[in-house]
Amino acid sequence: MDHTETPSPTNNLEAFWMPFTMNRQFKKAPRMLVAAKDMYYTTQDGRSVLDGTAGLWCCNAGHGRPKIVEAVQRQVAELDYAPAFQMGHPKAFELASRLAAMLPGDLNHVFFTNSGSEAVDTALKIALAYHRARGEGSRQRLIGRERGYHGVGFGGISVGGISSNRKQFGMALGGVDHLAATYDRSQQAFSRGQPAWGAHLADELERIVALHDASTIAAVIVEPVACSTGVLVPPKAYLERLRAICDRHGILLIFDEVICGFGRLGTPFAADYFGVQPDLMTVAKGITNGVIPMGAVFARQKIYDAFMQGPEGTIELFHGYTYSGHPVACAAALATLDTYREEGLFERAAALAPYWEDAIHSLKGLPHVVDIRNLGLIGAIELDPLPGAPTRRAFEAFLACYERGVMIRTTGDIIALSPPLIIDKTQIDHLFGTIADVLKAQA
């Protein structure tokens, strides 16, 4: 294939309305990727780019992994699709069983979706329907957290706490309240791993319960580490406290592990890392290594059981997607789980995390760096915004890194990093060396 050919007039850049992208700016100077293998992308002009972001936080095993590629090829030739409602295919059951076996505690039922956004909306619906099934239908409020990201469905943006993702779209869901974000730079700047300050912020939930009454609250949803907003690591003991308050008031706790799941923290899930058991968990991204779209909701036994009452000849949950448990996605996920296990990638991430931490914190003191945060193989470097031009300094760093063959991600004036778990120490050095050079050049 000739990767350098320019689009024909019938295949120009206009038609594709790109998501979360400055369309007009991008189309003037497109950044096109045409191939990927292991830790590197190849650009349309033939350059190699180190992947510092696992695509979009999703390619945890790196790119073009043979076992996953073969599984997808085989599956699409054997069974391309099977109806998802009132019919089944073996790989969906096999995958659910494999996932249930690796999940913490009694999270042992799996509802498949096609994305993180769908997983979040599904989990919120399950939470509401669960309380209703138990005769507590008054529990309809959903509690999110400021700066949270839970995808782009109406449920997700309602409980999410990033104003730019909400303001264009009207009122969204009613009956939603938000905890405060867990971040205060004056108390936490340059913390290594979990900040010591901030556990008390979980007590906000008591205030919200006092305001609305527990009998009206269905669930609290948080990302264990709030990643999309720029990597806010939970303060020590914060998640434990949230769990205890939820237990006290019969409120379900949902962990959105769309990013944290599948080894990002060096454990299968963040729930394992923090030793805190959620009632529902949402995942996507790393479940298939980003190869085929897939998401899932994991539910504890008591939640599934609450639905499995009444006459057998009824549909217990009126919810699902045409592509829930799609055969090709299931095949990709099974091969992904094999790859993670056979290559010990979660353990590898855990072993590399201290090196990663030292490497990212070595950037302290560089021009405009106001904070650095890290956990597992996740990191963030927060920059002082250019006066009058928020986001521009970080975005210019992103462009400069890309020119130098390194892919980073920015959100606001924060550089966010989450490499594939196959990254090695030389590549970590290269990643942070390039970012350091760019920040010095920007000074």
Q: Which residues bind ligand PLP (CB under 6 A)?
A: 115-117, 120, 149-151, 223, 227-228, 256, 258-259, 284
Which residue, among 390, 409, 396, has the nearest Cα to 164 in the 3D structure?
390
Task: Using the minimum distance from each CB to ligand PLP, give the nearer residue, 245 or 281.
Answer: 281
Comparing CB distances to ligand PLP, the nearer of 366 and 378 is: 378
Q: Smallest distance, Å, CB 119 to ligand PLP?
A: 7
| Minimum distance, C-beta of residue 84 to ligand PLP, in the bound complex (Å) | 18
Question: Would you tell me how many other CB atoms lie within 10 Å of the CB of residue 50?
Answer: 21
Q: Kindly tell me which of 39 and 232 has the beta carbon lying closer to ligand PLP.
A: 232
Distance CA 168, CA 157 (A): 11
Question: Minimal distance in Å, beta carbon 292 to ligand PLP?
Answer: 12
Q: Which lies closer to ligand PLP via its Cβ, residue 251 or residue 284? A: 284
Taking the C-alpha atoms of residue 49 and residue 166, their distance in angstroms, rounded to an integer, is 33
SS3 string, 4-55, reads CCCCCHHHCCCCCCCCCCCHHHHHHCCCCEEEEEECEEEECCCCEEEECCHH
C-beta nearest to ligand PLP: residue: 116
To ligand PLP, the closest distance from the beta carbon of 296 in angstroms equals 11
CB of 118 to ligand PLP, least distance (A): 7
Shortest reach from residue 44's CB to ligand PLP, in Å: 24
Buried b (16+ CB within 10 A) or exposed e, 25-42: eeeeeeeeeeebeebbbb
Q: How buried is 77 (Cβ within 10 angstroms: 0-12 exposed, 13-18 middle, 19+ buried)?
A: exposed
Asked if residues 173 and 188 have their Cβ atoms less than 8 Å apart, the reply is no
Nearer to ligand PLP, 109 or 145 (CB): 145
Tell me how far, at minimum, the Cβ of 150 lies from ligand PLP, in Å: 5
Q: Which of 104, 218, 82 is nearest to 158 (CA)?
A: 218
Cα–Cα distance between 303 and 250 in angstroms, integer? Answer: 13
- What sign has the CA pseudo-torsion 102, 155, 373, 31? positive
* Structure tokens belonging to residue 180: 């405060």
Q: How far apart are CA 68 and CA 329, in angstroms?
A: 10
Instruction: Compute the least distance from the CB of residue 248 to ligand PLP, in Å.
Output: 26
Question: Measured from the CB atom, is 177 or 257 closer to ligand PLP?
Answer: 257
Q: Which is nearer to ligand PLP, 259 or 276 (by Cβ)? A: 259
Side-chain-side CA neighbours of 69 within 13 Å: the count stands at 9
DSSP one-letter string for 241-284: HHHHHHHHHT-EEEEE-TTTTTTTTSSSSHHHHHT---SEEEE-
Structural contact between residues 219 and 253, judged by C-beta atoms closer than 8 angstroms = yes
Cβ of residue 306: shortest distance to ligand PLP, in angstroms? 25
By C-beta, is 122 or 339 nearer to ligand PLP? 122
CA dihedral sign, ordered 344, 345, 346, 350: positive
C-beta closer to ligand PLP: residue 114 or 434: 114
